[in-house]
């Protein structure tokens, strides 16, 4: 075209600069710009948009040189030009500069694109500024009919949940799951659940769990723990017991009782709390809701915690009217109270009931029975229980040995040496406090034993 003495049109130069931008050739893009100007063609906004894109990996100073060239040629500025500058500042982590540029755009009545705002949100999230990121996202969509990319809201949701920012988490959850029907990954659901728990929002927690179950995500213990914690923090006992029954119905309480710990702590706060919990438990049964032995055991354990053994026994005796069959954990909870009260005869009755129900003793059962027997002056039974425990394949814990050793020292029973030897053979190291008791002849042990829970 040049040889034919005709000037290439500006559109052709723009196309060539655009190609250079796409493949990342800033030097060649500038050369085409110079050629355009030498041919008497004035660059336009599209020209500088492509040139800025070509310089996307260059230093920020270079980008501002291009902007300065725009000013000299009186080329108008649009959102694409700002996009390149904001994107570059975001890449460098310059949050304040990104905000200043957005403010300049607002002053110039230039609307940023969703892609531009996405980069701003991303840099804020990366700099642990979830509230600011959420506010920018809201401001963008509230300013008109524009919609942010789903990824932007996902970034906001995760950042808000990570920082336990409830308002932002609720807002982003609504935008994503309700307005857009977005399916989250399981890890993000867990983060949202944790936020609901920390802020005592059981209704929100139930909603998250419902969404997960509807999507076919297999719910496990760690999914329900935040829900139960949220109910307890908000003082919603009905919801808490409902949640516990739901957890029990899914068979998630067999291996560990830790999941019910928040509810136990809440109910065991005092006698009034136990009374309230019992009323709720009875009401659930009257209303035809299934009540599990798990919740039943929790009420007994809470009564034991507040040293109210008669109340615990009263609850236990109501098992038949509630259509509940006590299990081994029921008896463990009661035996804990019996040990604390030193009520040996009651302990024997409970053991007989367990044997009549053909319940297999566990390591915990033997530990409780040994503790109970140590409250008696005649504690010969302890050694039979210890041998039976080992014969059934259970390994006595260091606490069992320490109780036996302490009692023998108090009674000047030489068998404490045998117990020490056996404990060491098991690989246990005696505590400093026990060693001090041995050295002192065990004078302080009886008081310590009576206070042992």
Classify residue 243: in a domain, yes or no: no
More confident position, 193 or 108: 193
Query: What contacts 307, CB < 8 A, 6 or more positions away?
Result: 337, 340
pLDDT at 47: 73
Q: What is the pTM of this model?
A: 0.65
The answer to whether residue 206 sits within a structural domain is: no
61's tokens: 């100073």
For residues 274, 280, 282 and 283, what is the CA-based torsion angle, rounded to 10 degrees?
Answer: 160
Taking the C-alpha atoms of residue 292 and residue 390, their distance in angstroms, rounded to an integer, is 33
pLDDT-derived band at 79, boundaries 50, 70, 90: confident
Considering its fold, how many domains does the chain have in total? 1
% of the chain residues with pLDDT over 90: 44
Which pLDDT score is estimated for 75?
A: 61
How would DSSP label each residue in 24-64? T-HHHHHHHHHHHHHTTPPP-HHHHHHHHHHTTTS-HHHHH
CB atoms within 10 A of CB 436: 10
Residue 221: pLDDT band (50, 70, 90) is: confident
**Is residue 1 pLDDT above 50, yes or no?**
no
pLDDT of 202 strictly over 70: yes
The answer to the question of residue 407 being in a domain is yes
Q: What is the pLDDT of residue 120?
A: 94
Q: Is residue 447 part of a domain?
A: yes
The most confident of 60-69, 194-203, 371-380, by mean pLDDT: 371-380
> pLDDT-based confidence at 106, cuts 50/70/90?
confident
Question: Which pLDDT score, from 0 to 100, does residue 242 have?
Answer: 81
Is pLDDT of 417 > 80? yes
Residues in CB range of 125: below 8 A, 6 or more apart: 133, 155, 156, 158, 159
Residue 7 has what pLDDT?
Answer: 55
Residue 264 covered by a domain: no
Local confidence band at 441 (pLDDT 50, 70, 90 cut-offs): low
Residue 255 has pLDDT above 50, yes or no: no
Token pair, residue 122, equals: 């991303």
For residue 200, the model assigns a pLDDT of 79
Residue 414, in any domain of the structure? yes
> 417 or 25, which is more confident?
417
pLDDT over 70 at 36, yes or no: yes
What number is the average pLDDT over the span 302-318?
95
Is 279 contained in some domain? no
Mean pLDDT of 313-317: 95
Mean pLDDT for 73-93 is 73
Q: For 146-155, write each residue's pLDDT tens digit.
A: 899 999 999 9
User: pLDDT band for position 4 (50/70/90)?
Assistant: very low
Give the span between the Cα atoms of 345 and 372, in whole angstroms: 10
Of residues 361 and 219, more confidently modeled: 361
137 in Cβ contact with 121 (< 8 Å) = yes
Among 72-81, 170-179, 198-207, the least confident range: 72-81
Q: Is residue 410 part of a domain?
A: yes
Average pLDDT, the chain: 85
Q: Percent of the chain scored above 70 by pLDDT? A: 88
What's the pLDDT tens digit per position in 271-280? 788 999 999 8
Average confidence (pLDDT) over 178-195: 93
Helix (H) or strand (E) holding 122: helix 114-126
- Calculate the alpha carbon distances from 227 to 33, 196, 202, 279, 359 in Å: 62, 8, 6, 22, 33
Mean pLDDT confidence for 10-36: 75
Confidence of residue 136 (pLDDT cuts 50, 70, 90): very high
- Domain enclosing residue 425, as ranges: 397-452
DSSP string, 329-357: HHHHHHHHHHHHHT-HHHHHHHHHHHHHT
| pLDDT of 126 strictly over 90 | yes
pLDDT at 234: 81
First to last CA, the chain: 98
């Amino acid at each position: 075209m040049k040889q034919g003495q005709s000037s290439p049109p500006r559109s052709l130069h723009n196309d060539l600069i655009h190609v250079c931008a796409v493949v990342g050739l800033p030097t060649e893009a500038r050369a085409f710009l110079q050629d355009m100007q030498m041919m008497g063609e004035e660059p336009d906004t599209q020209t500088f948009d492509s040139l800025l894109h070509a310089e996307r990996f260059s230093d920020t100073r270079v980008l501002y040189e291009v902007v300065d060239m725009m000013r000299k040629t009186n080329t108008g500025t649009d959102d694409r030009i700002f996009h390149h500058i904001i994107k570059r500042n975001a890449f460098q982590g310059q949050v304040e500069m990104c905000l200043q540029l957005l403010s300049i755009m607002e002053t110039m009545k230039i609307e940023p694109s969703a892609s531009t705002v996405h980069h701003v949100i991303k840099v804020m999230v990366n700099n642990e500024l979830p509230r600011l990121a959420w506010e920018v996202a809201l401001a963008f969509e509230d300013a008109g009919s524009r919609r942010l990319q789903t990824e932007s809201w996902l970034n906001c949701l995760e950042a808000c949940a990570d920082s336990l920012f409830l308002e932002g988490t609720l807002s982003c959850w609504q935008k994503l799951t309700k307005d857009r029907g977005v399916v989250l990954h399981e890890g993000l659901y867990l983060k949202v659940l944790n936020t609901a728990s920390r802020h005592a929002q059981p209704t929100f927690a139930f909603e998250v769990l419902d969404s997960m179950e509807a999507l076919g995500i297999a719910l496990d213990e760690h999914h329900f723990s935040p829900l139960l914690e949220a109910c307890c923090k908000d003082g919603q006992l009905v919801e808490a017991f409902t949640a516990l029954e739901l957890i029990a119905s899914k068979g998630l309480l067999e291996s560990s009782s830790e999941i019910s710990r928040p509810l136990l702590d809440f109910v065991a706060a005092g006698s009034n709390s136990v009374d309230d919990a019992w009323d709720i438990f009875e009401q659930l049964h009257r209303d035809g809701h299934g009540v599990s032995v798990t919740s039943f055991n929790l009420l007994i354990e809470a009564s034991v915690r507040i040293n109210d053994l008669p109340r615990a026994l009263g609850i236990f005796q109501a098992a038949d009217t509630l259509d509940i069959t006590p299990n081994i954990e029921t008896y463990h909870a009661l035996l804990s109270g019996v040990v604390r009260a030193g009520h040996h005869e009651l302990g024997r009755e409970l053991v007989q009931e367990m044997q009549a129900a053909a319940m297999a003793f566990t390591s915990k059962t033997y530990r409780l029975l040994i503790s109970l027997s140590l409250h008696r002056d005649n504690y010969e039974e302890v050694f039979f229980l210890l041998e039976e425990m080992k014969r059934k394949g259970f390994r006595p814990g260091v606490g069992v040995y320490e109780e036996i050793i302490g009692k023998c020292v108090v009674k000047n029973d030489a068998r404490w040496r045998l117990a020490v030897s056996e404990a060491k053979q098991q690989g246990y190291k005696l505590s400093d406090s026990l060693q001090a008791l041995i050295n002192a002849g065990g004078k302080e042990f009886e008081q310590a034993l009576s206070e042992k829970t």
